[in-house]
Amino acid sequence: MTAEKLNSTFFYVLEKSIKTYRQMAQRNLAQEYGAITIDQLLVLQAMKDQPELTQQQIALVVFKDYASITRIIDLLVRKGLLHRADHPTDRRRFELTLTRAADDLLQQVHPRILKNRKIALSGISEEEIAIARKVLAKITENCS
């Protein structure tokens, strides 16, 4: 496989696009809101949307490993964005609630996230996006 072939491989293009997007998004976030990562925001948002989720369910939603979720939540607690308390009925679990600071942060970053997506998708038609979405969903299905 030559470098040209590598560059033209579909999965190379795929990796490159998601990495470039993440870099752009992370850079923009860091400039405006300091030391928060996209992954941390994703977890926070998931917990805000569905507070009753277990950590394992959160892992599924944000498409991460259980171990990663444990560590991200640790960080969020240390940063004062999550409050961790005993779960009332299941002592294996914790009751995690977003702090006021987390709510504020999510509200603040929301427009930035929308703007990032808009930048990334500009100049692409709805129809093309729909097809790309279908292709990506099919890949996920094929690899599952």
Which residues would be at the binding site for DNA (CB under 7 A)?
19, 22-23, 26-27, 30, 35, 37, 39-40, 54-56, 64-75, 89-94
Q: Classify 126 as helix, strand or coil.
A: helix
Using the rule CB under 8 A, which residue among 19, 71, 87, 93 binds its own copies?
19
DSSP result, 2-61: -HHHHHHSHHHHHHHHHHHHHHHHHHHHHHHH-S--HHHHHHHHHHHH-TT--HHHHHHH
Distance CA(73)–CA(79), nearest Å, equals: 10
Please state the closest distance from residue 85 (CB atom) to DNA, in A. Answer: 12
Residue 112: CB atoms within 10 A of its CB come to 15
101 binds its own copies (CB under 8 A): no
Instruction: Indicate the residue among 69 and 109 with the shorter CB distance to DNA.
Output: 69
Instruction: Indicate the residue among 34 and 127 with the shorter CB distance to its own copies.
Output: 127
Instruction: Indicate the residue among 50 and 97 with the shorter CB distance to its own copies.
Output: 50
Instruction: Indicate the residue among 61 and 75 with the shorter CB distance to DNA.
Output: 75
